[in-house]
């Protein structure tokens, strides 16, 4: 029958039929997931986003429906009109929510024919990702992908409801703004009506939401689209979405309390778990010292320990010379790590260099209480015993060490810690969820290229009050009212109390090398708002893509974005980015450079 034939209205979705619907007349529509011919009777599994239902076309009772069923193939879109009946006891499918019923149809309408898809909709996820991205509209039909989109919707809806009930207003901010330094490259949009001038796409609504606070909005949120022209990886896309939040007349504690409540609510709604109340906290300095990262993974131990005082008593020159030059030696106790193979141990040195370190050394405390290491000749027995005590060693443990200047050693040991965890299978399969606030970040850090100072997060962060009087004397010592939300080793949100005093803002600009002229050119509207009275304010941005990927248990945020880009920033389905014709370029007064 033609797809233009008049149809009754769809009565319910495929996955919604249950035994209480037996005897009801119905019309169901969806994609043909599979079909089977059993001695003339044809069985079709019809699918939509809610699930599957079995359609039965019996030639003895409905020859017209059976004739249409003979034509259908996988992924054709059809409608079936019929009656719900119970399945026979031997044909019940306990794996399906609809497995106790089926629809005996007396009419099938073919709404759309379909070519054979490039891969079956029930294919496993091990398929080539580029194939999945090119045929994303097929990939998204898969139940696990639709379920991720549903759960993403639940996260966004729960956040909207929670914040709205607490006096926050959802306000949209513009996507065409002026370019400003925010830590990554801007995407630029040429202006046809203003030749030689460009809009920038927002890396975040940072300046707009601060302006909203100066406008008296008081409490704002937005599901904000953010665009950054930066190198990509599994947890980074050129465009991403964040729950953007800003509050007036608050201090750091009030912001953290509000966000904790929001995140606990999201996890309760979308994952059915209760997170701790309150979240534990750790300063940036402590996180770098103990875990070598400002987003520490807490589902396993492997803490990093300063072993400098002990190894100074050894005769191992790499360690003693590093210490003599002002460096440090730090160690990690890999519990039960003595089980690693010889090749894994031999690979520690090249792996350490790949991770940005100068090398790695190891000592094994064997299960029988003896020691094994290429370094044993440099370590007296009493020094080994001190190391064992300091690192909490037990028989079967592996001690791994790194040596360097403290600033370089901390992040290297953090990367080495994660590598070692992977070797011994940590954290393993676990439902453990470990949230953490990392607080008290430095406001400024050295620019590796120029040697000058730059903002660690952004230049609108309020320093802690005790550093305001001496800020210019030692910028590297200034601690800010900064906080990051970390869950299971992933940074899910970053925020701060903002500067609202124009004189403090100008001082920060000067430290990071932004002149008054440049500040007025790039941030004039925000600075004007400050001069006309701005309240104390602060906020945070939570990454929706990372948050949802944590909740559904996938490593790549591409798995929870409907139409993501590849690692090179390409959209394989749409063919973007792509060339444009010369006429468009002339209109925009731009010309490509070879």
pLDDT tens per residue across span 477-532: 999 999 999 999 999 999 999 999 999 999 999 999 999 999 998 899 999 999 99
3-state SS, one letter per residue, for 83-105:
EEEECCHHHCCCCCCCCCEEEEE
Instruction: Report yes or no on 288 lying in a domain.
Output: no
- The CATH number of whichever domain residue 326 belongs to comes to 3.30.1360.30
Band of pLDDT at residue 183, cut at 50, 70 and 90: low
Q: What is the pLDDT of residue 1?
A: 42
CA distance linking residue 250 with residue 147, whole number of Å: 38
Count: domains in the chain = 3
Residue position matching structure tokens 């559904």: 552
Q: What is the dihedral of CA 140, 145, 149, 151, to 10 degrees?
A: 170
Question: Taking 60 as the threshold, does the pLDDT of residue 435 lie above it?
Answer: yes
Give whole-number Cα distances, 431 to 415, 428, 479, 543, in Å.
23, 10, 35, 21
Residue 191 and residue 244 in one domain: yes
Return mean pLDDT, the chain. 95
> Is pLDDT at 352 greater than 90 in this prediction?
yes
Lowest mean pLDDT among 168-172, 351-355, 515-519: 515-519
pLDDT tens across 37-66, in order? 988 999 999 999 999 999 999 999 999 999
List the CATH number of the domain containing 38.
2.40.50.140
Mean pLDDT of all residues in 363-374: 96
Cα dihedral across residues 71, 73, 79, 84: positive or negative? positive
- 444 and 550 fall within a common domain: yes
Residues 156 and 277 in one domain: yes
Q: Do 86 and 54 reside in the same domain of the chain?
A: yes
Exposure string of 281-309, with b = 16+ CB inside 10 Å and e = fewer, is ebebeebbbbbbbbbbbbebebbbbbbbe
CB atoms within 10 A of CB 262: 22
Burial class of 198 by CB neighbour count within 10 A (0 to 12, 13 to 18, 19+): middle
pLDDT digits (tens, 9 = 90+) for 533-550: 999 999 999 999 999 999
Is residue 152 within 8 Å of 558, Cβ to Cβ? no
- The verdict on residue 531 lying in a domain is yes
Structure confidence at residue 2 (pLDDT): 45
Q: What's residue 4's pLDDT? A: 54
Q: How far apart are CA 569 and CA 47, in angstroms?
A: 33
Does residue 196 belong to any structural domain of this protein? yes
CATH assignment of the domain containing 556: 3.30.930.10
State the pLDDT confidence band at 181, using cuts at 50, 70 and 90. low
The pLDDT score that the predictor gives to residue 5 is 59
| Percent of the chain clearing pLDDT 70 (strictly above) | 98
What CA–CA distance (Å, rounded) separates 330 from 337?
17
Partner residues linked to 400 by β-bridges: 332, 362
Pairing of strands 51-57, 101-112: parallel
Average of per-residue pLDDT across 194-214 = 95
Q: Which pLDDT belongs to residue 126? A: 79
Q: Give the domain-ending residue among 392, 423, 454.
A: 423
Q: When comparing pLDDT for 82 and 180, which is higher?
A: 82
Q: Answer whether 511's CB lies under 8 Å from 189's CB.
A: no
DSSP bridge partners of 573: none
How far is 457 from 5, CA to CA, in rounded Å?
Answer: 60
| 401-415 average pLDDT score | 97
pLDDT at 182: 58
Q: How many Cβ atoms are within 10 Å of 339's Cβ, its own excluded?
A: 13
């Amino acid at each position: 029958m033609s797809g233009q034939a008049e149809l009754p209205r769809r009565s319910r979705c495929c996955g919604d039929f249950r035994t209480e619907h037996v005897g009801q007349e119905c019309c169901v529509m969806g994609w043909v997931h599979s079909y089977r011919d059993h001695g003339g009777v044809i069985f079709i599994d019809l699918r939509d986003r809610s699930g599957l239902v079995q359609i039965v076309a019996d030639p003895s009772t409905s020859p017209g429906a059976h004739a249409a069923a003979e034509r259908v193939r996988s992924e054709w879109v059809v409608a079936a009109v019929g009656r719900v009946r119970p399945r026979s006891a031997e044909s019940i499918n306990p794996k399906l929510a609809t497995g106790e019923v089926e629809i005996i149809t007396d009419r099938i309408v073919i709404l759309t024919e379909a070519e054979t898809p490039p891969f079956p909709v029930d294919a496993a996820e091990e398929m080539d990702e580029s194939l999945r991205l090119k045929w994303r509209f097929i990939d998204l039909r898969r139940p696990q992908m639709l379920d991720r989109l549903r759960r993403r919707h639940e996260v966004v809806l729960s956040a909207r409801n929670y914040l709205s009930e607490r006096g926050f207003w959802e306000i949209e901010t513009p996507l065409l703004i002026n370019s400003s330094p925010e830590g990554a490259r801007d995407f630029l949009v040429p202006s046809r009506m203003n030749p030689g001038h460009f809009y920038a796409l927002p890396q975040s609504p940072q300046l707009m939401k601060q302006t909203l606070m100066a406008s008296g909005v008081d409490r704002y949120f937005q599901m904000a689209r953010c665009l950054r022209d930066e190198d990509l990886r599994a947890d980074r896309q050129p465009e991403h979405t964040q729950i953007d939040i800003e509050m007036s007349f608050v201090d750091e504690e009030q912001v953290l309390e509000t966000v904790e409540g929001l995140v606990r609510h999201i996890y309760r709604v979308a994952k059915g778990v209760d997170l701790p109340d309150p979240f534990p906290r750790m300063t940036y300095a402590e996180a770098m010292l103990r875990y070598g990262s400002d987003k520490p993974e807490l589902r396993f131990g492997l803490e990093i320990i300063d072993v400098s005082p002990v190894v100074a008593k050894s005769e191992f020159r790499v360690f003693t010379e590093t210490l003599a030059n002002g460096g440090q030696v730090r160690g990690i106790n890999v519990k039960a790590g003595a089980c690693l193979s010889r090749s894994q141990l031999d690979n520690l040195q090249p792996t350490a260099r790949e991770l940005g370190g100068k090398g790695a050394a190891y000592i094994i405390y064997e299960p029988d209480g003896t020691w094994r290491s290429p370094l044993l000749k440099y370590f007296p027995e009493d020094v080994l015993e001190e190391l064992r005590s300091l690192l909490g060693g037990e028989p079967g443990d592996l001690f791994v060490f790194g040596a360097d200047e403290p600033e370089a050693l901390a992040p290297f040991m953090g990367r080495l810690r994660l590598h070692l965890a992977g070797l011994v299978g940590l954290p393993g399969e676990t439902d453990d969820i470990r949230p953490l606030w990392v607080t008290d970040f430095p406001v400024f850090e050295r620019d590796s290229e120029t040697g000058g100072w730059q903002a660690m997060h952004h230049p609108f962060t309020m320093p802690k009050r005790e550093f305001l009087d001496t800020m210019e004397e030692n910028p590297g010592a200034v601690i800010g009212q900064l906080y990051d939300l970390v869950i299971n080793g992933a940074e899910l949100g970053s925020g701060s109390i903002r500067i609202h005093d124009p004189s403090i803002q100008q001082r920060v600009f000067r430290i990071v090398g932004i002149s008054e002229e440049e500040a007025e050119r790039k941030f004039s509207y925000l600075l004007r708002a400050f001069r006309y009275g701005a309240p104390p304010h602060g906020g945070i941005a939570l990454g929706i893509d990372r948050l949802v990927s944590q909740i559904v248990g996938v490593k790549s945020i591409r798995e929870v974005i409907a139409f993501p880009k590849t690692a090179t920033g390409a959209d394989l389905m749409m063919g973007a980015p792509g060339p444009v014709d010369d006429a468009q370029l002339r209109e925009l007064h731009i010309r490509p450079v070879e």
